[in-house]
C-alpha cells in the first residue's frame, strides 16, 4: 500500500473509531448524537471519495478488507466463470439449508464484495447463514445490462450448487438494492421460481429521481448528492429508458413477489425511493415491512455503532421469519 493510500486508510480508521466513541458518549442526547455521527460520516466519505474512479475503487477495497475483517468470519474467494465472488461464513456451526445472495452498492460505478464486507460479515454473523457476494461489472466501462447479467450469473450458480430458489434470500444496499429488485423482476419475467424473500437497505429504486426527498433532504444528507446521482445515472443508463423496471424497479409489476423488508434513514435523499416502493408493494398485495430510522443516513448499517447492529439484527429477524 503506497504512502498516500496508507494515510487515507489511517484517516478513515480514526473517523471509524471516533464514530463509535461519539455514539457511546452522546447516546443519551439523540439530536447531538445524530449531528456528531453525521458529521463523522461526511468526513469519512471525504476520505474515501476521489475524482479518479480507479483510486476510489481501490480505496474502497482496502477499507473493506481492513475494517470488514473479523476473527469470527471467514471470507472465501472464488470465481463464477470469470467473475470474482466470495463466501462470508461464521466460524461456528451454522445453518446450511438457506443462503443469502448479496448485491453490493456503489451507484453501479464503484463498490465491491470487499468493500461490502462491513455488511456481509454482519449478515453472516446475525443470520448464521452463508452469504454470497459477487463483483458485477461496473459502469461506465460496463453500463446496463451488465450488472443484471452478472447477478443472474450468480443466481444460476446457486441453482447449479443445488439450492432451490426458495432456499435463497436476496439482499442489497443502495444500487445493490436496485440490482436485487431487478434480478427478481427478471426472474419473474422469465417465469422462474422466485427467492424466499428480499431485504433492502437504502434502496435506489427510481433513476428518474421523482421523489421529493431529493430536494427536502438535499441539505442534510451526508453521503449522497444530486451531482453524484447524475454521474451514476449517466454512467449506468445513458440513453436508456429510465422507466424500464430493470433500471428503475419502482416502475415494475410486483404481483406475486416474495416478502420484502426495507430499511432506510430519514436523513437521506433516497428516502422516498424506499417509501414509494413500500406504498406500491402494499397496493400490489405484497407482504412488505419498512423501518425508517430516525436521524440515520444512507446505508448507515455499515457503521460501527449500536443502531447499525440493531438494524442488522432486524434483517436477521425478517430472514428467520420467512424461513420458518
Active-site annotation, residues: 174, 268
CA distance 53 to 228: 12
Q: How many helices (H) and strands (E) does the chain have?
A: 10, 8
Q: Among 189, 103, 88, 191, which Cα is nearest to 153's?
A: 103
> Among positive and negative, which fits the CA dihedral 292, 171, 14, 20?
positive
206-215: buried (b, 16+ CB within 10 Å) or exposed (e) per residue?
bbebebebbe
CA distance 32 to 28: 9
Angle in degrees, CA 180, 283, 299, rounded to 5: 35
User: HSE on the CB side for 183, CA within 13 Å?
Assistant: 34
> Among positive and negative, which fits the CA dihedral 263, 210, 183, 268?
negative
Q: Among 65, 54, 75, 88, which Cα is nearest to 12's?
A: 65
Amino acid at each position: 500500500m503506497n504512502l498516500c493510500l496508507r494515510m487515507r486508510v489511517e484517516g478513515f480508521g480514526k473517523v471509524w473509531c471516533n464514530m463509535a466513541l461519539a455514539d457511546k458518549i452522546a447516546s443519551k442526547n439523540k439530536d447531538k448524537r445524530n449531528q456528531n455521527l453525521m458529521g463523522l460520516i461526511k468526513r469519512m466519505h471525504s476520505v474515501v471519495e476521489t475524482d479518479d474512479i480507479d483510486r476510489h475503487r481501490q480505496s474502497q477495497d482496502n477499507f473493506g478488507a481492513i475494517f470488514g475483517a473479523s476473527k469470527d468470519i471467514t471470507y472465501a474467494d472464488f470465481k463464477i466463470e470469470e467473475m470474482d465472488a466470495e463466501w462470508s461464513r461464521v466460524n461456528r456451526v451454522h445453518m446450511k439449508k438457506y443462503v443469502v445472495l448479496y448485491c453490493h452498492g456503489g451507484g453501479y460505478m464503484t463498490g465491491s464484495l470487499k468493500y461490502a464486507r462491513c455488511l456481509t460479515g454482519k449478515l453472516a454473523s446475525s443470520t448464521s447463514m452463508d452469504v454470497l457476494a459477487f463483483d458485477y461489472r461496473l459502469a461506465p466501462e460496463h453500463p446496463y445490462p451488465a450488472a443484471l447479467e452478472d447477478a443472474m450469473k450468480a443466481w444460476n450458480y446457486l441453482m447449479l450448487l443445488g439450492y432451490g430458489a426458495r432456499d435463497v434470500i436476496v439482499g442489497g444496499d443502495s444500487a445493490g438494492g436496485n440490482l436485487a429488485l431487478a434480478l427478481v423482476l427478471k426472474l419473474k419475467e422469465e417465469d422462474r421460481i422466485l427467492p424466499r424473500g428480499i431485504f433492502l437497505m437504502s434502496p435506489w429504486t427510481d433513476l428518474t429521481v421523482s421523489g421529493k426527498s431529493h430536494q427536502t433532504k438535499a441539505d442534510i444528507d451526508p453521503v449522497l448528492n444530486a451531482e453524484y446521482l447524475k454521474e451514476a445515472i449517466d454512467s449506468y443508463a445513458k440513453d436508456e429508458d429510465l422507466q424500464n423496471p430493470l433500471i428503475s424497479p419502482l416502475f415494475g409489476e410486483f404481483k406475486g413477489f416474495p416478502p420484502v423488508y426495507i430499511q432506510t434513514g430519514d436523513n437521506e435523499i433516497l428516502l422516498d425511493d424506499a417509501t414509494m416502493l413500500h406504498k406500491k408493494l402494499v397496493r400490489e398485495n405484497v407482504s412488505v415491512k419498512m423501518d425508517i430510522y430516525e436521524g440515520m443516513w444512507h446505508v448507515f448499517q455499515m457503521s460501527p455503532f449500536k443502531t447499525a447492529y440493531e438494524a442488522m439484527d432486524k434483517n436477521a429477524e425478517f430472514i428467520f421469519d420467512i424461513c420458518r
